[in-house]
Amino acid sequence: MNQMGGSTSTEFSEAPDGAALQRIREVLNQVLIGQGPVVDQVLVALLARGHVLIEGVPGLGKTLLVRSLAATFSGQFSRIQFTPDLMPADVTGHTLFNMAQQKFETRKGPIFTNLLLADEINRAPAKTQAALLEVMQEQQVTIEGSTFPVDTPFMVLATQNPIEQEGTYPLPEAELDRFMLKVQIDYPDQEDEEALVRSVTGLGDAPWGVECIDPILNADQIADLQDQLGEIAVDQEVFTYGVRLCRASRDWDGLERGAGPRASINLIQAARARALLDGRDFVTPDDIKSMALPVLRHRVQLTADREIEGYNADQVLQGLLDTVDAPRQ
């Protein structure tokens, strides 16, 4: 058995426990060295049945993260490189006439998977981007009038480059709102980058890479973990605090547009998933705070003067978090 793995498929227990979830967390941190917060946020989205928009320059391991996550539960993984000439049917699939059998056949596209990596999603026009809307919301795909469910678990992880804007199309607000979290991935620090380079170049003490990952759970057990989210308690004061944060963004100085009710829903669910990831059966105010920026940053729009002054969404939202009183622990 490889050092990075968990257990083989014949050793799976019927019900997943917190220890298995922590092993997945540890394995991903061994592969994506120095990106602990990114790993946690992606796992939160998976547990909460959400989707993730990952923003970062090329070469930081976004594809590696998704492939590694799929490997931890023997999940199916598909990658679509979004380009200006990509058509919606290239994502969802299409219907063809079989001349030999004289009948129409449906050929499912790469969207039929567990983890879908939509790489550089903002390089495709809005019509192709919109091909993801139905499956992100309804967990189903319509092809030529016929509806097909996708497998469980299912998660879209879309990436975009924050620097290179030439030849890109901005994501529509309706699509941005479908992403539970916007995760920002940055360069590792010196020590972590040295450890990463050592591992990738074979100078480390242990095998490294997706091929070194043994499955820890299976897809059904991931679905069981997702079902456990309903058992995570949310105190009324903590619940109200989460909703107040989202509502405060709607008339906050520096924001032209605030977050809608879907943000409130996503924030509570993400906080519950964060509690589950940390091995607790209740949500704390810190869970709400830790997930507020990933939930809100892509749902707000800065005022023109804040943009001119060089502010970003996180800076303005941090002021909101510092001002809105949180309940005591």
pLDDT digits (tens, 9 = 90+) for 58-97: 878 888 899 999 999 989 999 999 999 999 999 999 888 7
The model's confidence at residue 9, banded by pLDDT at 50, 70 and 90, is: very low
257 pLDDT band, cuts 50/70/90, is very high
Question: Tell me, which fold does domain 9-226 have in CATH?
Answer: Rossmann fold (3.40.50)
pLDDT for residue 110 is more than 50: yes
Distance CA 5, CA 27 (A): 7
Q: First vs last Cα of the chain: how many Å apart?
A: 43
Eight-class DSSP state of 48: T
Contacts (Cβ under 8 Å, ≥6 apart) of 236: none
Confidence of residue 1 (pLDDT cuts 50, 70, 90): very low
At residue 150, does pLDDT exceed 70?
A: yes
In this structure, the number of other CB atoms found within 10 A of the CB of residue 166 comes to 4
CA pair distance 115, 307, nearest whole angstrom: 35
Q: What single string gives the DSSP state of each residue in 97-155?
A: EETTTTEEEEEE-TTSSSEEEEETGGGS-HHHHGGGHHHHHHSEEEETTEEEEPPSS-E
Distances (CA, A) of 74 to 118, 292, 327, 329: 20, 31, 41, 38
Task: Report helix, strand or coil for 159.
Answer: strand
* CATH code 3.40.50.300 region(s) in the chain: 9-226
Q: Which of 120-134, 154-168, 215-229 has the highest mean pLDDT?
A: 215-229
Q: Percent of the chain scored above 70 by pLDDT?
A: 91
As annotated, the residues of the chain forming the CATH 1.10.8.80 domain(s) are: 232-323
List Cβ neighbours of 150 (8 Å cut-off, separation of 6 or more).
111, 112, 113, 135, 139, 140, 141
Backbone φ/ψ region at 303: left (φ over 0), alpha (ψ -120 to 50), beta = beta
Q: Is the pLDDT of residue 244 over 70?
A: yes
User: Cβ distance 95 to 51 under 8 Å?
Assistant: no
Q: What is the mean pLDDT of the chain?
A: 89
pTM, full prediction: 0.89
pLDDT of residue 40: 97
Least confident of 82-96, 136-150, 162-176, 280-294: 162-176
CATH topology of domain 232-323: Helicase, Ruva Protein; domain 3 (1.10.8)
